[in-house]
Structure 1
Amino acid sequence: MWNKRLGIDLGTATTLVYVQGKGIVLNEPSVVAVAKNTGKVLAIGREAREMIGKTPEYIVAHRPLKDGVIDNYEITRKMLSYFIQKVCGRSIFKPDIVICVPSGCTEVEKRAVLDAAYHSGARRAYLVEEPMAAAIGAGLDITGPSGNMVIDIGGGTTDVAVLSLGGIVVSRSIRVAGDKMDEAIVRHLRKKFNIMIGERTAEQIKIEVGCAVPPDQDKSIQVKGRDLVSGLPKEITVTASEIHKCLTEPLSSILEAVRMVLEHTPPELAADIGEKGICLTGGGALLQGIDVLISRSTGTVAYVAEDPISCVALGAGKVLDHLKELREGFLFTKGRNR
């Protein structure tokens, strides 16, 4: 009996689904729009994301995952069911699913993800830690005795890990990533310009002019928001150098996590990392100059993976082909045939 095998990067900001033999077939925002009074789901994914900050009182646009873990179980389950059904259709066969979780997840948080997977229609569910999946998806050989270092910067968490012999040797997960960068931009504009902007606008600013190191060319962007004094719409010009300054705090937290992992890395593996460099994955790796910042801070070459956003989902999809080698790298729970 044939059943589909799915790799799911269940992210705070975005969910990606990899289907074995087809590649990544779904890339949708992890957002659900719900009717406040009835709890009825009105929209999921891209359509729901368009509603953030624009809904009437009776509609709430939820992001059911916070800091990389489930914040609202029931809404997460509905979202996961929707994505799985969208990929698999109304098949009578249950899929085997690998879902990625941050390396700092507690057992309770892991159990919540597994339960959500089963109640969403999984035949068997596996959990793999995000840096493990990211390394596999980036094409690193983690099964040998040589050391590899991965920094996965997502929406809710940054996972830093050193891997060798098919497992994680040293890791650290912090709840500082893309969302905290967006919040830093919102705070800065509110404090300096008395203007309030939404999270989508902040993300757009980060994408267009955000940079981890002082920019060579000080690009600017027009930003529209609400004046906190008059309450009227207001437009301002924001420069790249200004955004660089306000991103210093979240980036410092990421650098501190990287240094802590390197300090606890065995000398032999540290030598391997010095030779190979540090691989950056996740959406946060696309922030301009972040590889340069990490290289300067650690004295080790850092480079961005070929397709950083897809690495975790690709790795999750490939895990099912290598269960024996990676047995220690993930939590496995026997499936239920239903």
Structure 2
Amino acid sequence: MKKHRVPFACRNEVAIDVGTAFIRLATAKFGVVVIPTMSMSEPPLQHGVVANSQKLTEIVRPFLNRAKKLGLLSPRVIVGSPTDASEEERETLMAALFAADAASVEIISEPFAAAIGIGMDFCNPYTQLIVDVGDGVTDCAVIRGNEILDTHASRVGCGTLRESIKDCFLRCWGLSLLSSETERIIASAGVAQNKLTDNKIQVGTGNNKDASPIPIIIRQASIHAMIEPAILKIIDTVTNLLRKVPPAFGCEIIESGIILTGGGALLPGLRERLAERTSIRVTIPEKPLDAVIGGLGDMLVHT
């Protein structure tokens, strides 16, 4: 965790989950605000880290201004970041938030925030594994008590699946897909190998010249072939971490299971694929998308 504090007495506080597809901001006064970013011409984040700091500052500044106490004091900010983010990537994130008028910035690893957000029992004597599959990053953490023992992350996520499908349609047929259409395709096809059928999926596309709709039919197995490399990378991220875990802790993870959060938790079949590959029970919390922002918000209250 990296801290950079400016002395202050009484300030409003803002929790920020800077995701690749959505930015979520939470305050006690205004609740949670969700800002979609994946359709922006210049998205502020790519693969979980800042790609356009000026854009991030422009998005966040209005909300930090609203959070100022009596319009005078800038708010304290707590923000999530991937566990594999470099020092330079973290500094860029902090600089963008300070430019947006944050009084202080504290960076928390996203899996740890997700663990807090789902109400993980930190008094549990068993080692626990949380896997946060976001739009641009798959981030895993082994947690025992309230301490992170080990982490592993890969810059692959739900957005990688969308891009794989879009690239294939463009390369093979010269057809473009909207992100919303690729999401619908993935939801229809799922990712569970043991549920492969000969189902056919209708896809609405537009050609690159006039974007007129061109409905086509494609087999479910073809969609699976497009996204399978990315799915394997997501699963390998988890298994690579498990291989590093000492045997005693590994046995405890088998007992406690794997907790799956983030948008990837909503991918039909991913839980089953992960459980089959690891031979460990995988559970999904009630609101997996809200795990990180919920945990960051809870940390504001208790710190």
TM-score bucket of the superposed structures, by smaller chain: 0.7 to 0.9
- Equivalent residue number for residue 278 of structure 2: 298
**RMSD of aligned residue pairs (Cα, Å):** 2.6
- Equivalent residue number for residue 107 of structure 1: 87
Mapped pair 1:137 → 2:144: no
Q: Residue 201 of structure 1 aligns to which amino acid in structure 2?
A: E
- Equivalent residue number for residue 4 of structure 2: none
* Runs of 5+ consecutive residues of structure 1 not aligned to the other structure: 32-48, 53-60, 324-338
Contact 1:26 1:87 (8 Å CA) reproduced: no
**So what's the TM-score if we normalise by structure 2?**
0.87
Structure with bigger helix share is 2
Give the secondary structure class of the aligned counterpart of 2:195: coil
Query: 126-135 or 87-96, which moves further after superposition?
Result: 87-96
Contact 1:14 1:30 (8 Å CA) reproduced: yes
**CA shift in 2, pair 1:14/1:100, >3 Å:** same
Mapped pair 1:29 → 2:9: no
**So what's the TM-score if we normalise by structure 1?**
0.79
Q: Residue 264 of structure 1 aligns to which amino acid in structure 2?
A: K
* Runs of 5+ consecutive residues of structure 2 not aligned to the other structure: 1-8
- Equivalent residue number for residue 47 of structure 2: 67
**Aligned with residue 227 of structure 2, among 247, 253, 257:** 247
Contact 1:212 1:251 (8 Å CA) reproduced: no
Residue 112 (structure 1) shift: 1.2
Mapped pair 1:6 → 2:8: no
- Equivalent residue number for residue 181 of structure 1: 161
Partner deviation per Cα, 1:96-135 (whole Å, 9 max, x = no partner): 1110000000111111111222221222210001111111
Residue 14 (structure 1) shift: 0.3
Q: State percent identity of aligned pairs.
A: 27
Number of aligned residue pairs: 295
**CA shift in 2, pair 1:27/1:87, >3 Å:** farther
Partner deviation per Cα, 1:289-320 (whole Å, 9 max, x = no partner): 11100000000011112101000001111223
Contact 1:194 1:229 (8 Å CA) reproduced: no
**CA shift in 2, pair 1:236/1:136, >3 Å:** same
Contact 1:212 1:248 (8 Å CA) reproduced: no
* Whole-angstrom distance in 2 between the partners of 1:290 and 1:208: 13
Contact 1:211 1:240 (8 Å CA) reproduced: no
Residue 192 (structure 1) shift: 4.8
Contact 1:184 1:247 (8 Å CA) reproduced: yes
Give the secondary structure class of the aligned counterpart of 1:97: strand
